[in-house]
Amino acid sequence: MRNIRLIISYDGTCYHGWQCQPDLITVQETLIRAVERIVNHKVKLYGGARTDSGVHAMAQVANFFTENKIETKNLLRGLNSLLPLDIRIRDVHEVDGSFHARYSAKSKTYVYTILNQPFDSPFYTRYVWHIPYPLDVSSMNRAARLIKGEHDFSAFKKKNEPYGSSIRCVLRSGVKKRGDFIYIFIEATGFLRYMVRNITGTLVLIGAGKLKEDAMAEILASRDRDMAGPTAPAKGLFLKEIYY
């Protein structure tokens, strides 16, 4: 039995997230249909991250098992010929049978993109949160560093979402500006649902001067979702990379 790993980029605008859901169009379901047409049997497709509705991916990872002997280069070409243009397979490799896209992952990096200028852009509006007023990026960056380490991130999860544990370990976090674009990046061993978007909403309040920098640590310690900022729109969030 062969274990095939896919590296996938997609625009999540038209999809109800990664994971299969009844009667809804998802990235996973769209990929499964394409894979099954080529290998000619049912497959289970395991994803490295469960991106939400409207969230994009630069390098999602997935794997499936097959006895079909198709060459990986032909599988890549065949999948891209069947998939819609907003989903592209970047790489196909045969890997060890023990590899699992989700459970083998060591950490993941998400990047959130803000367009910080007076007017929105018709070219970027599907991929950014447009904020027309100035943001203090240095203040946001210092605040973002306060979440590094292992913490209970209950204050930044989706409200009333149950978890066995809300403890996660953030390895890197920061904020950078390039021209009119602000990038918030977070690498962690795992994420709670809406965690990056809720952290982003809080950082924007700090950048706008509505919260002090040290409020980030206070909110984190509170474990209270009501103390944190608003949930940033899904369209600005990208799964950048999964590390194994």
Domains of the chain, each with CATH number or no CATH: 2-95 (3.30.70.580), 107-243 (3.30.70.660)
Beta strands 56-66 and 237-243, pairing class: parallel
In tens, the pLDDT along 125-140 reads 999 999 999 999 999 9
- What is the rounded (10 degree) CA torsion for 88, 89, 90, 91? 180
Residue 198 has a pLDDT of 98
What CA–CA distance (Å, rounded) separates 167 from 102?
A: 18
Residue 63 has a pLDDT of 98
Catalytic (active-site) positions? 52
pTM of the model as a whole = 0.95
Which parts of the chain have pLDDT scores under 50? none
What CA–CA distance (Å, rounded) separates 15 from 8?
A: 15
Residue 159 has a pLDDT of 87
